[in-house]
Amino acid sequence: MKYRTLLLLLILTLPWVPSLSAQSAGRVMGYYERGRQLQTMQDYFGATEQFQEALLVNPSFGDAWFALGECAYALEDYELSLNYLENAEKYSRANGDIMTMRGFNYIGQQKIFQAETLFRAVLKTYPNSIDARFGLAELDLLHGRISGAEQTYLEALKRQSDNRRILLALALVSANLGKLDVAENYITQAMRYHSGEPQVHYLASYLSLERGDLADAETHARFAITLNENFHRAYELLLLALYRREQYRDVVDICDRQIAQGHHSVSVWQIKALSQAKLGQGAESLATLYQAQSIFPEDELIRSECEKAALKLLPADDPRRRELAAFHVRQAQSYGASFLQYQAQSEYETALRLNPADMDAHRGYAETFRASGFMERYLGELKIVAAQGTPTTAEKDRLEGLESMLADSLDRKWGVDQERLDKKRWKIGVYYRAEKVQLRHEDADRIVADALASLLSGTLNISAVTMGQPVTLYSSAFREARTANLHYFSVLSYEENDRELTLTGTVYSGKTGAEIKKIAVYRTGSNRLSSALLYSANAIRSILPVYGRVIARNSTEVLVDLGRTEGITVGTEFTVIKSGALVPRDAAPGMKYNDADRLGSITVSTVGDGIAAGFFKPAGFYDRLGMQDVAAPLARAPVAPDGNNTPTAAAPGSAPTAGESAALPSAPIFEASVEPMVPITVTDVRSPENPVQRLPAILDLLKSVW
C-alpha cells in the first residue's frame, strides 16, 4: 500500500506527466499493477493489455512503456520491444534499465557487438547494475564460455546475495558444469529467500529431473503450479516426472485438461501419445499423433512418430496414410524443383512406404532416376505406373521406347533381377545418450536415433540397428556392438529448442572400439531435422568403402553387383579378393586385406544401373575365382590440370605389396555420384564453427524464469 501511494504521488507531481486527476491516476495505477501481477505470472498477453489500458489514460507513463518492452521481449518480438523502449526513454528519466533491456533485444536480433557495447556502457555509469552483468553472462553463454558466465554471475552475487535470478542462473550454470552439489546449494539459497515464487520451484524441479530424482521433481512442479495455476511450463515438467515414474494414466488426464484449456504445446500432445502407447492404446496414440501433426505441421519428430504408428497400425489404403504420404510428395516436388534429386528421392521413398499405390509418387520417383541417368530404374518405375495406374499416352510411348532401347541390357542378358540383389555390406549400430532433459519432445534422443537408423538402412549397402534404450557408458555400447558383430557403431547426443537443433555423435569401430569419426551438425529453419539426419547419414556413409561381389560367370566374363548407382563406369578396374578376406581397419576408416588373398582383377566392359560385367584376369597361374568373392573398385588419380583422369592401379598407400596388408581407400571412391552431400541451404546461415549465434538450452531455461 505504501508503494502504491508513493508511485501515485510520483505520477501526479512529476513535471513531464500531463495533468491528471486523482481518479485518472488511480485508474492508471490499477492497470499498471494488474499488468505487473500478470507479468510475474508470465501471462504476457494479459499484462500487455493492462499496460496498454494504462497508456490510453496516460500516454506519457514511461514505466508502462518500459513494461510493454519487457513483455514484447519475453514474447520474442524484439523490434516491437525496441519501439516501446524508445517511448519509455522519451518519458522517463535516464537510467540503465532501458539500455540493458535494449541490449537483450539486440541479442535476440543477433546484434552481438551492439549488445556488448551497451552492457559495458551501462556498467561504466552504473557499476552495480545486475541486469548489465546478466547481459554479459548471456553473451558468454552464447560464445560457449560457461565458466566465464559463472564468474560474471558470481560478481553479480557479490552485489545482491539474495537475488533470485542470480541464484537460479548460478544453479543452472553449475549443473551444466557438472557441479551438482554446488547447484543444489544455490537452489537451497533461492528456496530460503524466495520459496513463494513459482520460478524457483520450476527450476528446482528441472534440476531434480536432471539428476534423476523424479519424486522431488514432481513435488516442486506441483508446488510451482499451486503458486501459479497458469504456469504451463511447470505442467510440462510435472508431465515429464509422471511419465518417467510410469504414471501414464495421470499423464493422459493432465494432458487432456491442458488441451481443453487451450494449451496446445508440442510437448503436451507428444507425451500424451507416448503415454497412450505405453498403456497399450495404440489406436488412441495414433489418433493423438495424427491430430498433433495437423496442429504442428512443421514438427518433424511428431510427424515421424505418427508415420511410424500409421505404418504399424493402419492398412495401406487408409486415407490417413494417403494424407501423410501426400506431404512427402509435396516435399519431394519442392526438392526436385531445386534440382536436389537425392533429397527428392528420399522423400518419394517415404511417400511410397506410406502409400505404395500413390501414382504421383511413382511418377515423381521415376523422374528422379531419369534426371540422374538411371534408365533401367526409370523403366522399372514406369512399369509400375503402367501396371497399377492409368499411364498417359506419353508414358506409354516412353515405356515402349525404353523397352526397345534396353532390350539388350545386362540384366536380360544374364537373367538377373537387379531390384532383388542383396547388396547389404555394412552393419551399423545407432545408439544414443539421454544426458539432458528434453523439454520439447520426451524421448527425442530415441526418436532421432531411430530415424537415422531408418535412413541408413534405406541405403543399398547398409543395415542399421538401434538399441532401444539409451547407453549410459561407452563400454556398454561397445559390448553391444561387438556382441552383435557390427562393423561400426555410433553414439549420438541431441539437443533442441523451438527454433534450432544440434546433433553430435562419434562413430567407433565395432571390433576394437577405436574412434573413427566425429559428427557435428547444427540446423535451424524449416526441415532442420531431416537436413541434420541427411548430413549425419552421409557423414557415416563417407567412411564406408564401396565394394561388390561376383554374382555370375561365363568363361572369363564375370558379373559384379555394382553399377551406375555406385558410380561404376566402363573402364573401371576392380581388385578381386577372396570372400571373407576383406575386413575393416582396426582404428581408421577403410578396409584391409592380405595380398595373398588377392585373386586378380576385373576391367569393366558393360555397365547397368545396378550391375556391371567385365573380364577377369587371374593374379597368378591358377584361376581361383569363386562366386561371392569381393570386387573392390581401385582408386582413381586426381584430375590432372589438363583434365586427364586416367584410372590408376591404386591410391597412394593402398596398393597391395607382397607379404603386407593392402588397404582400400578410406572413403567411397565414387562418393560424389553415390551419395552427394546435402548442400547448405539458406536456413543454414549459422555454422557449427560459429556458436555465438546459437541459443543454448540453458539460455532458454533462464528466460523461462526471468
Name the pLDDT band for 14 (thresholds 50, 70, 90): very low
Can you give the pLDDT at residue 13?
Answer: 45
Q: 309 or 686, which is more confident?
A: 309
What is the spatial distance between Cα 170 and Cα 177, in angstroms, rounded to a whole number?
10
CA-nearest of 248, 250, 202 to 225 is 202
Helix (H) or strand (E) holding 576: strand 573-577
What is the spatial distance between Cα 108 and Cα 149, in angstroms, rounded to a whole number?
18
What is the spatial distance between Cα 458 and Cα 534, in angstroms, rounded to a whole number?
12
Q: Residue 269 in 3-state DSSP?
A: helix
Share of the chain above pLDDT 90, in %: 53
Residue 671: phi and psi, rounded to 5, are: -55, -40
Mode of pairing for the β-strands spanning 591-594 and 661-663: antiparallel
Cβ pair 132, 126 in contact under 8 A: yes
Q: Exposed, middle or buried, 364 (CB in 10 Å: 0-12/13-18/19+)? A: buried
pLDDT at residue 228 tops 60: yes
What is the spatial distance between Cα 68 and Cα 46, in angstroms, rounded to a whole number?
11
pLDDT at residue 688 tops 60: no
DSSP letter assigned to residue 636 = B
Can you give the pLDDT at residue 449?
Answer: 95
Can you give the pLDDT at residue 469?
Answer: 87
Can you give the pLDDT at residue 403?
Answer: 87
Work out the average pLDDT over 186-194: 89
Q: Exposed, middle or buried, 222 (CB in 10 Å: 0-12/13-18/19+)? A: middle
Work out the average pLDDT over 155-184: 86
pLDDT in tens, 490-521: 999 999 888 889 999 999 999 999 999 999 99
Can you give the pLDDT at residue 209?
Answer: 92
Cβ pair 527, 501 in contact under 8 A: no
Name the pLDDT band for 406 (thresholds 50, 70, 90): confident
What is the spatial distance between Cα 418 and Cα 594, in angstroms, rounded to a whole number?
31
pLDDT at residue 563 tops 70: yes
Cβ pair 491, 505 in contact under 8 A: yes
pLDDT in tens, 40-56: 888 889 999 999 999 99
pLDDT at residue 330 tops 90: yes
pLDDT at residue 676 tops 70: no
81-85, 90-94, 619-623, 625-629: segment of lowest average pLDDT: 90-94
Neighbours of 629 (CB within 10 A): 22
Can you give the pLDDT at residue 706?
Answer: 65
**Which cell numbers in the block locate residue 93?**
528519466
Using alpha carbons only, how large is the chain's radius of gyration in Å?
31
CA-nearest of 650, 604, 601 to 630 is 601
Task: Give 536's contacts (C-beta < 8 A, 6+ positions apart).
Answer: 452, 492, 503, 505, 519, 521
Distances (CA, A) of 168 to 157, 512, 685, 696: 11, 44, 32, 16
Where do we find the cell 567407433? 508
Where do we find the cell 533491456? 101
CA-nearest of 159, 155, 153 to 183 is 153
What is the spatial distance between Cα 112 and Cα 106, in angstroms, rounded to a whole number?
7
68-82, 143-157, 320-334: segment of lowest average pLDDT: 143-157
Query: Given its phi and psi angles, is residue 527 left (phi above 0), alpha (psi -120 to 50 degrees) or beta?
Result: left
What is the spatial distance between Cα 668 and Cα 655, in angstroms, rounded to a whole number?
16
pLDDT in tens, 177-189: 888 888 888 998 9
- pLDDT averaged over the chain? 84
Which pTM value belongs to this model? 0.80
pLDDT at residue 681 tops 70: no
Q: Residue 630 in 3-state DSSP?
A: strand
What is the spatial distance between Cα 576 and Cα 561, in angstroms, rounded to a whole number?
13
Q: Residue 425 in 3-state DSSP?
A: coil
Cβ pair 664, 545 in contact under 8 A: yes
Q: Which residues pair with 492 in a beta bridge?
A: 432, 505
What is the spatial distance between Cα 694 and Cα 144, in angstroms, rounded to a whole number?
9
Can you give the pLDDT at residue 696?
Answer: 64
Distances (CA, A) of 325 to 11, 314, 454, 636: 62, 13, 17, 41
Furthest-apart CA pair in the chain: how many Å? 112
What is the spatial distance between Cα 127 and Cα 333, in angstroms, rounded to a whole number?
58
Q: Which of 126-140, 237-251, 427-441: highest mean pLDDT?
A: 237-251
pLDDT in tens, 362-405: 999 999 999 888 999 998 888 888 888 778 888 888 888 988 88
pLDDT in tens, 61-73: 999 999 999 999 9
Work out the average pLDDT over 67-96: 89
Q: Which residues pair with 554 in a beta bridge?
A: 557
Sign of CA dihedral 408, 413, 417, 419: negative
CA-nearest of 150, 96, 106, 151 to 128 is 96
Q: Which residues pair with 523 in a beta bridge?
A: 501
pLDDT at residue 686 tops 80: no
Q: Residue 430 in 3-state DSSP?
A: strand
Can you give the pLDDT at residue 525?
Answer: 84
Distances (CA, A) of 411 to 222, 330, 367: 67, 33, 21
Q: Which residues pair with 594 in a beta bridge?
A: 661
CA-nearest of 350, 346, 344, 411 to 376 is 411
Report how far Cα 21 is from the mean position of its chain's Cα atoms: 58
Can you give the pLDDT at residue 21?
Answer: 65
Q: Residue 35 in 3-state DSSP?
A: helix
Cβ pair 444, 438 in contact under 8 A: yes
Name the pLDDT band for 352 (thresholds 50, 70, 90): very high
Work out the average pLDDT over 137-147: 84
| Residue type present at position 267 | S
Distances (CA, A) of 294 to 256, 303, 327, 382, 424: 17, 9, 11, 33, 37
What is the spatial distance between Cα 392 and Cα 371, in angstroms, rounded to a whole number?
19
pLDDT at residue 217 tops 50: yes
What is the spatial distance between Cα 328 and Cα 334, in angstroms, rounded to a whole number?
10
164-173, 243-252, 677-686: segment of lowest average pLDDT: 677-686
pLDDT at residue 10 tops 50: no
pLDDT at residue 429 tops 90: yes
Distances (CA, A) of 601 to 558, 579, 634: 11, 14, 10
pLDDT in tens, 643-666: 333 333 333 233 333 333 344 433
Distances (CA, A) of 681 to 301, 338, 340, 532, 677: 21, 11, 11, 12, 12
